[in-house]
Structures are given as structure tokens and as C-alpha cells.
Structure 1
Amino acid sequence: MLRSLDIRDMLIIDRLELTFRPGLNALTGETGAGKSILLDSLGFVLGWRGRAELVRAGATQGEVVAVFDLPADHPARAVLDEAGLQAGDELILRRVNTAEGRKTAWVNDRRVSGEVLRALSDCLVELHGQQDDRGLLNPRGHRALLDDFGGLAPQLAALRTAWTARARAAKALAEAEDRLAALKSEEEFLRHAVAELDALDPQPGEEAELDTKRRRMQAAERIREDIARAHAALGPGEGAEGRMGDALRWLDGAADGADGRLDAPIAALNRALVELGEAVQGVEDCIEALDFDPAALEAAEERLFAIRALARKHGVLPDDLGGFADDLRARLSALDAGAHDLADLRAALARAEAAYDTQAAALTAARHAAAERLDAAMAGELAPLKLDRAAFATGITPAEPGPEGRDAVAFTVATNPGAPAGPLNKIASGGELSRFLLALKVCLARGASPLTLIFDEIDRGVGGATADAVGRRLADLSHSAQVLVVTHSPQVAARAAHHWRVEKRVADGATLSSVTPLDDGARVDEIARMLSGDTITDEARAAARALLAG
């Protein structure tokens, strides 16, 4: 509910503070007194696009503050949460417009963008007038209005779930088909590469091992001849070991006649022979280790070169060839299993589409039933508004499937029997359109509305009993929502629970607008003025009292 509106230096308003009430609030006054300025100012603080020049002449800036009550379950709280704003029991909107045209907005003392204001306004205020393009006249919103009237939220939620599942299944199938098509384009490469890798079967670390083995065999080929010569020089026979053995035998034979002088040399030779034997054994072990088959060197080189060539071919490291082969095998397996997987995914999509079709058909049937109820309710509302010859119809036609079904909904009217039906704003005249919108809003109201409903001269072009019917419908509507009506009709103003008069005055050469709340006595005079004009007669006051008495 809009609780208050504080306007400073906007157009011809210098300072104005309004406190609104629940129920039907009426704003009346002479043409040009400034009633539309109030709506312009409210639209400004709500972020609506309107007049470019709003700041009062001579002022540096204009400011509007709107305060709304915010119950715990109000939908505006979701907008605040998404914007990262705290929400209390009241919502304070403030917007400033400088004389240079710069606009700045705050919500609960936090600076926000115009987009946040407009998102909040959709949850706070709904404006209806003869040029209404935000609500009932916009066919894009008719389906949502019908669903709300029919209480179809549960069916709609189920359909959105089915649509999401359908879209997910379709996406999974499309992605699988794309993957399979990509794999098919490289099938020949995959099969050849996997066969080549399987035939070679490279192992992690094998390339380094083969390189070491190859280097060792190449080195052995170069040094084996020198080691063999050394072995011949050290070994028995003509080698050092044989000659030292001969020398030791000769010295042993001569030792007895040398009076102990050969004992030390003989001991040294024995030690030398032991060391020499170890050296010979080591050389022999080396010769044995260096002994290799030339064919083994050739085989090692061939495998090493094959591994390195395959690694260069596929652009990977030699040690990564095994993992690369595993990846190619997985892609090949996916290709071989692709047809079976596609069949499963197509079956899943068919099930999802069938579930969506079932839910969509049920929602379509529910919408047709709701449309019949709405048309009947509208017929009952149009007669008192002197539109009994008009026909209202809720048209439901097939549309492209989507998360909200496969129905297009449009409200149409035929103002005279036999006349073709068409959109509200194309067929109805200004006065008729006002009454159609009011009747439709009354029918669509369900329970307590979180919106403040504003009707801008919606009674224009009607009078007498029809204007009284308009007032009664607005009063009925105000039982479930706060209603503000800008009106020139005394019959409508008399139905209001709260009444303000908008006046224009000239002070110090400046034209200013003011708004005055009216008590019972002042209301009689204002409604009498609306009935009789500038000269208020006793008869006009009596007629005003009769209207107020209802």
C-alpha cells in the first residue's frame, strides 16, 4: 500500500506531503490544477519514463519520496533480495532530478539504478487509464492475467518443470549427435592410429630405457678391443699374471740359499698376485658385460626411433603415448557405442515430449475453462456500466510451445452486435475503453492485491447512472486493494473513502499546485462544485449530500 508521497520542486509543486489510506482514494479538481503532475511525480520515483523536464522553474533540483507498507509476503521483497537490499516493514523510494537532467535514486537509503526502481514498481503500483500500455491493454500479459484469474499456478509450475526436462533431453540428444558427427569425421584416423599404437604398445619410461641401452652398446663397441688387450697383458701365460707366477716359483727355489733375504720380496709378490687376480677378474667381468649381439643394438635403435617418430606424429611426449592411446580408444568406443546411446537419448526425449504434451494439453483445457468463467463474469460487469450490447471474449489460439504452454491469449471486444471483435484498444472508444478496463480489473481481482491500483480519469466520457456504476465498481475493487482514482465525476468521488482536492494558485507571480484533504463538510462543497460548476447552490449541496449518502 502507498502510505505517503512527498514532492518537492516538481513542475508547479513547491512542496507537497500526501498521506494515503487503504480503500478508495479520490483526487479531484479543475482541469489543469495539477492532478496529472501527482501521477507524473509518482511515476518519476517509480522509475517510469515520462516527461523530460520535471524540475520546478528556479529550483536546482526536484525530489520525490514514496513510502510503501511492505507485508512479510509482499513480492517486492524478492526484487529487494535480488538487488542485495534489506527489507523492513516499510519501503522508502527516493529519487532526485537536477535542473541539468541528472537523475539519482535510493531505496531504503541505498543508491540503486532505474532498472531496480522499475522492477519494484511492477510489484507496487498498477496504472490504468485510457492510454494504458502497462497493464490490461498489452496482449503480451493477457495469458498471465488469465492464469491468475483461473488459479492455474500449480498447473503452470508443473508445465515449466516438464518444459525444462524436455529442453534438457533435447540438449543432451543434440550434443550427443554433434559429438558422434565429429567422431565419424575422424573415424578413419582413429582406427588407424589405435591400430598403430596397439601394434607398437609403447610403455611409460621405455624411451629413456632404450636410449640408455643403445648408448651403452654403442660405447661397448668402441672400448671392448682395448679392454681385451689389457686382459691379455694382465692374464696368465705371456701376461703379467703368468710372468709374476714364474718369478715367484724361481724365487721360492732360491730362497733357501738366500739366508732370508728373499722372504720379503716373495711375500710382496704373493700380495701382488692376489691384487692382480682381482684386477683380471674385474676386467673379465667387464668384457662379459660388454659382450652383446649387434642385432640387439639394431633392434633397440629401431624401436627407439619408432617410439619417437610416433610421439612427433601425434604431438605428445614419448611417455604420454600410452595415455594418448587410451584417449583414442575411448573416442573409438564412443563412436562404436554412439548408435545405441542415441537411441536411448531419443527415447528419453520422446518421453519428455510426451510428458510436456500431456501437461500442456491439460493447461490448455484449464485455460479454456477459465476463459469461459472470465467471459461470463465480464458479461455480468458490463451491463451495469451501460455496455450490455458489447461482447467480451477471451481468445485462445495455438502458439509456439514454451515454458508457459502453447497457447496465445488475447482479450477482444465487439462493441455492437454483429460487429467484428478486435483488441480492446483498437475497437473501444475512449469512454467505452475506460469501462472495459474497469470491468476487467474487477473480474481479475482475486483476494487482497499487493498492488496499489491507480485509475487516471477512467470515468471520462460517462455520467449519470453509468458514472455511478463506475464508482460502485471502484469501491468494490478497493475492498481487496488500495485504489487511487483521478476523477471529474461527482458520482465516482462520492464513493471514495478518502477525498483530496487539487488546486492551482498564484503566489508571488508563480503558479503553484496544492492538495488538500477534505473533511465531510468540504467534501459536500467539492462534490457540489463538480455538479454545478463555480457557483455552488444549495440544490447542488443537497445533491452532493444525496450522492455521499449513497
Structure 2
Amino acid sequence: MLRTLDIRDMLLIDRLELSFGPGLNVLTGETGAGKSILLDCLGFVLGWRSRADLVRQGASQGEVQAVFDLPPAHPARDLLAEAGITIDDDELILRRTNGLDGRKTGWINDRRVSGEVLRRLSEVLVELHGQHDDRGLLNPRGHRALLDAFAGLDLGPVRAAWGARREAARALAEAEATLEAARQEEDFLRHAVAELDKLAPEPGEEQRLDIARRAMQGAERIRDDVARALQMLGGDGAEGAMVDAARWLEGASDRADGRLDEPLAALSRALIELGEATRGVEDTLAALDFDPSALESTEERLFALRALARKHDVLADDLAGLGDQLRDRLGRLDAGEAQVIALRQAAREAEAAYDATAAAIGRDRREAAGRLDQAVTAELTPLRMERAVFRTVVSDGDAGPEGRDAVAFTVATNPGAPSGPLDKIASGGELSRFLLALKVCLARGNDALVMIFDEIDRGVGGATADAVGRRLKVLADSAQVLVITHSPQVAALGQTHFRVSKSVTDGMTTSTVAPLDAGERVGEIARMLAGDRVTDAATEAARVLLDG
């Protein structure tokens, strides 16, 4: 419930404090007195799009504060929690200022917030209706939500089915795209895997082959020199000569009086060293002995490894790992077809589940549409539109999280006349009454919103205006209703009555709003009945209206 509205230096208002009551609150006044200014100011503090020149002439800043009573279960509390705002009691204070430079600043319970937060909050606090209401009942995009609210439908299952359907479709699309991409490189993968499997590279193999190749290349260059050296050291070379020399010296030693003993001993030692050298050279020559074809095969494999590494732009030691990766990709390709088949089946099942759930919601909507049509028809009779035909059309629409149904409210103002959209068929007065009848039906049980009707009774009078007022009073039995009206019949039914007036002082125009007591209400309603010259008959008629 909107408890108070405090306005400072906005448009034609200098300072204004209003306290609203529960039930039906009515605002009356002469045309041009400034009744719409109140809506402008309320819309401003709620973050609605507003005119630029809001600050009162001569003031540096305008300010509006609105105080709402917020019951514990009010949906506004969830939005406040999302914005990180906690209120300890049931009082919600919205405040917003507007500077001459157009800068706007908003607060919720002294916590600074953006205009977007205020706008989101306003959607669960206030609902505005008028002849040019394009935010609610006249917007066909919102008709399905209104029908669902009337029917009390639980959209959780169809939303869950839509989510599962969308997820299944996404998984299938990804798998198909992956499979298609894999198919485009299938020839490459199979050729590369076959090539790697044939070569069968091993980690560290390149280094081992390179060392062996270098060794064989080196052996090839020195082997002849080592062989010639061995020949010079062997029996036909140094060893043979030294043996012959030792034999000759031994034969002469007996006649040399011992002078050859030391040379013979040295020669014996030399023969031992020469033997060891010869054996070392023989071992080396044996080690240098290799099959020339081994060098050729080693070089061929080494060059094959390096060529394949260059081809795939990897190190030779990484070829084995690359082979594992390519084989894995090839395996996924081979398994991809089976995965896609399984995902297609899952997508079909999700589609079927969604179709069944959406069809059930559609049946509920069509059943509820009939009940809504009957309810609106019943409301139209006291509004003197008993010949009008209201119909809720539920047709096939695009699939979405809330089903496949498109919903549109249509009317025919006279039997046999073609039906059409509300705002295309009904005249101004008829449209107001259609909106009111719809609102009475759709708002039952919803006391969370403050409903505002801006001259919704325009174009009607007499008994019809009285019926409009009584419909508004029905709404006010379960929710707070604010009505800007020119109809005395509607004004007389208000539980709280405000008069809007305009005055000029020292060349400055100011609008004021004053609550009326019982006696003042008689005078205001008499003015509404009679005009500028209030007669005794008008005063008496006003009393009759107020007495009900």
C-alpha cells in the first residue's frame, strides 16, 4: 500500500505531503488543475521515464519521496534482496531527486540505487491503467501472462521441459558440428596415423640414431689408419723386428761380459708394452668394424624421423605423443556417429516431452480462456456493455519457455460485428470499461499492487459512471486503488478523497492537493455535478450520491 507521497519543488508543486488510505482513493479537480502532475511525480520516484523539465521554476532541485507498506510476503522483497537491500520492518521508502542539470539520484531506505532498480521495483508495487495504457492490458505481448495469472497456471514444468529441450538441441548441435569438422579431416587423420604407425617412432630415438650415425661415420674415416698402424706393430712390423733383435742379442750376450743384460731386459719390457699396444689397436679395429648397410639404414631412419617431425611441425621426440593424439581424434570420429545417433534420440525425446507439456498447458489455457470470457462478460453487464462480446483467443504460436500458445484479447462492441484487438475496436469510453472489467477479473486475489486508474471513466456518465465506480470499489475491497476522475458517481464511492486545485500568486502558478472531510466532499461533488455555479439541487444530489 502507498502510505504517503511527499513532493518538493516539482513542476507546479511547491511542497505537498499526501497520506493515502486503504481501499479506494479518489482525486478530483477542474481540468488543468494538475491532477496528472501527481502521476508524473509518482512515476519519477518509481524510476519511470519522465519529462525533462520536472524541477519547479526558481528551485535548484526537485525531490519526491514515496513510502509504501510492505507485507512480509510481498514480491518486492525478492527484488530488494537481489539489489543487496534488506529492510527490517514493513516500511519501504523510495526517494529520488532531480537537479536543474537533469541529473537524477535515487535511494531506497537511504541506500543509493539506480533508476533501473527503481523501475524493476515499480513493476511489483504499482500498476497504472488509463485509456492510453500500453504497459498492461493493451499490450498483446502481455495477454498470455495475464491469462496464466487468471488461471493460476504453474509454468514450472513447461519451463523445465523447454530447458531440457534446448539443452538436448545444443548438445546435438555441438556433437554434429564436431563430427562434421572431424569428417573434414578424416583423410588426413587416417593417412597421418598410418604413417606414424608404420614408422613407430620412440621417445629419445633420434638422439640414439644420431650418436650411432656419427660413430659409424667416424669409424669409416679412421679405420684404414688403425689397420695400417696394426700392421706396422705386428709380426711383420715392429714386433717382429724387436723379436729378431732380442734373439740376436741373446746369442751375443754370452760373449759381451754382461754388457747386454740390461738392454735385453729393457727390450723384454718393450715387447710386453708393444703387445699391450697391439692388443688395444686390435680391439679398436674390431670396434671400428661395421656393416656399411647399418650406416645406411641408420641414416634412412634418422632422416625419416626428422622429415616426419618437420611435416607435423613438432620435435622428433614428440612424434609418439602426436600419434596418440591423432589416434584419439580418429577414435572420436569413429565413435562420433554413434554419439550423434544417441543425441538425436535424446533430442527427439526432449522435444516430445516438451510438446506434451506445452500441449497440456495449452489445454489449460483454452479452458481458462472460456472462464475468463464468462467472467469479463459478467462484468460488462453492469457497465452497460451487455451487447459487447469479449473473447480470449488462444492460437498456435512459436515455441518458448512458456509453451506454444499466442494469446490475444479481442472484442466486438455489437453482436455480429467483427472482433478485433482491444485498442483497435473499442472507442475511448468503451475501452475504459473493457479495461476495468478485465482488471476486476484479473486482479482478484492480488493485493500486492497499488492500482492507479487515470481518468478511466472518461466518456461515460450517469448509470454507467456509477457502474464504473462500483467496479472500482470491488477492486478496492482487496487492494489499494487510486483513481483520477471527473465523474461524481466515482468520486462519491471513494473512501479517501483529495481535491486538486491551481492558484496564481505573484505571477507564480502552484498546484495544491488537499484531503477533503465529509462536508468538503459534498461541495466538491456538487461542483462536479453542477459546474462553477453550485445549486441547492446539486448539493442535495451530492449528498444522495455520498449516502450511496
Q: What is the TM-score normalised by the length of structure 2?
A: 0.91
After superposition, the Cα gap between the structure-2 partners of 1:294 and 1:61, relative to the gap in structure 1 and judged at 3 Å, is same
Q: Deviations over 1:279-320 (max 9, x none)?
A: 555544443333322111111111111111112222222222
Counterpart-to-counterpart distance in 2, 1:32 and 1:255:
159
Matching residue of 1:170: 169
Could you report, residue by residue, the CA deviation over 1:196-228 in whole angstroms, capped at 9, with x for unpaired residues? 121111122222222222122212222333444
> Separation in 2 of the partners of 1:248 and 1:162?
112
Residue aligned with 1:123, SS = coil
The question of whether the paired residues in 2 share the 8 Å contact of 1:382 and 1:388 is answered with yes
1:143 aligns with 2:141: no
Q: Provide Cα deviations, 1:504-550, integer angstroms capped at 9, x if missing partner.
A: 12222211111112233333332233233334455444433333333
**Closer, same or farther in 2 for the Cα pair 1:354/1:228, shift >3 Å?**
same
Distance 2:126 2:264 in 1: 124
Do the aligned partners of residues 293 and 88 (structure 1) sit closer, same or farther apart at CA in structure 2, a change above 3 Å counting? farther
**C-alpha offsets along residues 21-74 of structure 1, whole Å, 9 cap, x if unaligned?**
332221111211111001011112222223232221222222222233333433
Is the CA contact 1:214–1:300 (under 8 Å) kept in the aligned structure 2? yes
SS across alignment from 1:8: strand
Contact residue 253 and residue 259 of structure 2 kept, 8 A = no
Query: Which residue in the other structure is 1:62 paired with?
Result: 62
Comparing 506-515 with 51-60, which one deviates more in the overlay? 51-60
- Residue 79, structure 1, aligned to residue 115, structure 2: no
Which stretch of the first structure deviates more once superposed, 218-227 or 387-396? Answer: 218-227
Provide, for residues 114-148 of structure 1, a one-character-per-residue CA deviation record: whole Å limited to 9, x for no partner.
33332222222110001101100000000010011
Residue identity opposite 2:388 in structure 1? A
Distance 1:321 1:526, change over 3 A: same
Instruction: Go from structure 1 to structure 2 and tell me whether the alpha carbon gap of 1:68 and 1:212 turns closer, same or farther (over 3 Å shift).
Output: farther
Q: Matches of 1:248 and 1:521 in 2, distance apart?
A: 162
* Structure 1 residues 246 and 507: alpha-carbon distance in aligned structure 2, compared to 1, 3 A threshold: farther
Query: 3-state DSSP class of the match of 1:15?
Result: strand
Letter in 1 for 2:194: A
Q: 1: distance between equivalents of 2:264 and 2:478? A: 131
Q: 2 CA distance for matches of 1:520 and 1:36?
A: 24
- Once the two structures are TM-superposed, the CA of residue 75 in structure 1 deviates from its matched residue by 2.6
Q: Which amino acid aligns with 2:285?
A: I
Task: Quote the residue 1:363 is aligned against.
Answer: 361
Q: Distance in 2 between matches of 1:302 and 1:141?
A: 77
Report the counterpart of residue 463 of structure 1 in structure 2. 461
**Distance change (3 Å), C-alpha of 1:130 and 1:254:** same
- 1:78-227 mapped onto 2 (5 Å cutoff): 78-89=78-89, 90-153=91-154, 156-227=155-226
Distance 1:385 1:212, change over 3 A: same
Does residue 25 of structure 2 align to residue 25 of structure 1? Answer: yes
- SS of corresponding position for 1:355: helix
CA contact (8 A) 2:390 2:412 kept: yes
Deviation of 1:230 after TM superposition, in Å, equals 4.8
Letter in 1 for 2:150: F
CA distance in 1, matches of 2:94, 2:285: 98
Match of 2:430 in 1: 432
Q: Could you say which residue in structure 2 is the equivalent of 1:34?
A: 34
CA deviations 1:125-180 (Å, max 9, x no partner) are 11000110110000000001001110112xx2111111111122222222222222
Q: Distance in 2 between matches of 1:120 and 1:168?
A: 32
Q: d(CA) in 2 for partners of 1:71 and 1:373? A: 31
Cα 1:228–1:519, aligned 2, differ >3 Å: closer, same or farther?
A: farther
Contact 1:235/1:242, CA 8 A, preserved across alignment = no
Q: Which amino acid aligns with 2:31?
A: T
Match 1:509 to one of 498, 507, 516: 507
- Quick check: 2:47–2:119 contact (8 Å CA) kept in 1? yes
Q: Which runs of 5+ in 2 are unaligned?
A: none
> Alignment partner of 1:168: what SS?
helix
Counterparts in 2 of 1:118 and 1:300: CA distance versus 1, 3 Å: same
Output the aligned Cα RMSD.
3.0
Question: Which sits farther off after the overlay, 252-261 or 428-437?
Answer: 252-261
**Contact residue 4 and residue 20 of structure 1 kept, 8 A:** yes
CA distance in 2, matches of 1:387, 1:181: 63
Distance 1:256 1:533, change over 3 A: farther
The alignment partner of 2:510 has SS state of: strand
Contact 2:242/2:267 (<8 A) preserved: no
1:336-415 correspondence to structure 2 within 5 Å? 336-415=334-413
Other structure's SS at 2:353 match: helix
Tell whether the 8 Å contact from 2:67 to 2:94 is kept in structure 1 after alignment: yes
Instruction: Tell me which residue corresponds to 1:299.
Output: 297
Give the stretch that moved more between structures: 339-348 or 29-38: 339-348
| Letter aligned with residue 129 of structure 2 | H
Residue 270 (structure 1) shift: 7.9
Cα distance 1:483–1:214, how it changes in 2: closer, same or farther (>3 A)? Answer: same
Any idea what SS the aligned residue of 2:50 has? coil
